[in-house]
Amino acid sequence: MSADAPGRSALITGGAGFIGSHLAELLLGQGIEVFVLDDLSTGSERNVAHLRERRDFHLVVDSVLKSSVVNELVHRCDVVYHLAAAVGVRLIVEQPVHTLVTNIQGTENVLEHCNRFEALSEESRRVYGPTTARRWAYAESKALDEFLAFAYHQERGLDCVIVRLFNTVGPRQSGQYGMVIPRFVSAALAGRQLEIHGDGTQTRCFCHVEDTIRALSTLMEASGVDGDLFNVGSTERVTIDELAQRVLAATGSSSEIVRIPYDEVYGQGIEDMLHRQPSIDKVNAAIGWSPSRSLDEILVDVIAHIRRAPVFDESVA
């Protein structure tokens, strides 16, 4: 069945979040009826407020941990995009139990019900670190999610695709839990200091949310990708120091840049990856995908979004 076939429906867990809300817009534009399941713990009803009056959009405010709710929604939908997760370094460090339960039990719950009705596309990312460091709770929980998805595919024939997302950014992303671009932009526009956590030499690659959701949608419809795993992200690498300078230039801000040790930010020892850059050769070979939006374009879009917000604050980014 093609993506724009009449009567098709999709469930997006975490669909009121940053990525999920953009994906909902894309699918609705393809003529797909969208059901969103979100407990609004890190997502926001504001992200989907403009969709609420549509007859083909449905928001269910509940948890992926509630089996009966997941069962009903999966039963009603043809495909599932599982994006619900505890995310953000600050949230992960401060609430490791919540992180592990949400990411592992929530994914197991979705997989179990998808197996009954044969539908899933699952989002996750893998990084490495010792179990004694809370920073890695998210990474390890998502790794277990991958093992679960592979097991359901191999043992029970579940049609699923795993996608590892690398630093997706864009309008609607919140800086509340440590996301660096909205945090920098909000501070620059408000004339506050831009706080670099660590020494600023760490590098990251930032992918526009429009590129990310295009990859998710295309992978869902592609043939020959069942039970496989793909990296989705940009390969345009930038140091956090350089990122801060580019934000100042793009906003015309004279804000000061300060560097704060991780221990002072999170109140305990924390490790971070010095460099993070995905290889996207596999996803490019499978579906011809590569990012089309540059970091400069990302900054333009994020700055425009935050300028429209009623206050310059990370929580509304």
Q: Which residues pair with 57 in a beta bridge?
A: 34
225 falls within a domain: no
Q: Which of 50-54, 92-96, 209-213 has the lowest mean pLDDT?
A: 92-96
Residue 38: phi and psi, rounded to 5, are -155, 135
Sign of the Cα pseudo-torsion (124, 128, 130, 136, in order):
negative
Residue 108 confidence class, pLDDT cut points 50, 70, 90: confident
Last-in-domain residue among 160, 191, 217:
160
Strands 203-205 and 237-239 turn out to be antiparallel
Q: What is the pLDDT of residue 178?
A: 66
**Are residue 265 and residue 149 in the same domain, yes or no?**
no
For the chain, the domain total comes to 2
Tokens 């670190």 correspond to 129
One of 81, 128, 138, 262 is an active-site residue; which one? Answer: 138
Please give the share of the chain, as a percent, with pLDDT higher than 90: 60
Residue 56 lies in a domain: yes
- CA 145 to mean position of chain CA atoms: 15
Tell me, what's the pLDDT at 285?
Answer: 96
In a domain, 1, yes or no: no
What average pLDDT does the segment 14-25 reach? 96
The token pair at 6 is: 């009449």
Question: Is 110:123 a contact under the CB 8 Å cutoff?
Answer: no
Same domain for 17 and 152, yes or no, is: yes
The whole-number pLDDT of residue 116 equals: 77
Q: Are residues 49 and 156 in the same domain?
A: yes
pLDDT of residue 117: 66
Q: Are residues 125 and 148 in the same domain?
A: yes
At 212-268, the pLDDT tens digits run 999 999 999 999 999 999 999 999 999 999 999 999 999 999 999 999 987 776 666
Q: How far apart are CA 135 and CA 154, in angstroms?
A: 30
**90: CATH:** 3.40.50.720
The percentage of the chain sitting over the pLDDT mark of 70, rounded to a whole number, equals 78
Write down which residue in 160, 192, 222 finishes a domain: 160
Residue 42's pLDDT band (cuts 50, 70, 90): confident
Looking at the predicted structure, is the pLDDT value of residue 193 above 80? yes
Pairing of strands 257-260, 203-205: unpaired
* Residue predicted with more confidence, 115 or 24: 24
Residues 104 and 143 in one domain: yes
- Cβ atoms of 219 and 194 within 8 Å: the answer is no
Residue 223 falls within a domain, yes or no?
Answer: no
Are 183 and 305 part of one and the same domain? yes
C-beta of residue 241 within 8 angstroms of C-beta of residue 279: no
- Is 32 inside a domain boundary? yes
**Inside any domain, residue 258:** yes
Q: Please give the Cα distance from 35 to 48 (Å, whole number).
A: 12
Task: CATH number of the domain at 242, please.
Answer: 3.90.25.10
User: Among 139, 160, 181, where does a domain finish?
Assistant: 160
Beta pairing partners, 123: 163
pLDDT of 101 > 80? The answer is: no
The pLDDT score that the predictor gives to residue 120 is 56
Give the pLDDT of residue 252.
97
What's the DSSP call for residue 158? -
Cβ-count burial of 206 within 10 angstroms (0-12 exposed, 13-18 middle, 19+ buried)? buried
Ramachandran region, residue 82 (left: φ > 0; alpha: ψ -120 to 50; beta: rest): beta
pLDDT tops 60 at residue 130: no
Same domain assignment for residues 115 and 59: yes
Same domain, yes or no: 153 and 173: no
Pick the more confident residue, 269 or 20: 20
The answer to whether residue 186 scores a pLDDT higher than 50 is: yes
128 is annotated as an active-site residue: no
Q: Do 134 and 239 fall into the same domain?
A: no
**Does 214 reside within a domain?**
no
Confidence of residue 279 (pLDDT cuts 50, 70, 90): very high
Query: Quick one: average pLDDT of 206-210?
Result: 97
Per the DSSP assignment, residues forming a β-bridge with 254 are none
Nearest to 13 by CA among 32, 38, 33: 38
Is residue 229 a part of any domain in this protein? no
Shared-domain flag, residues 178 and 303 = yes
User: Does the CA dihedral 170-173-178-182 come out positive or negative?
Assistant: positive
**Res. 2 pLDDT band, cuts 50 70 90:** very low
Domain assignment of residue 269, given as a range? 167-208+234-278+292-317
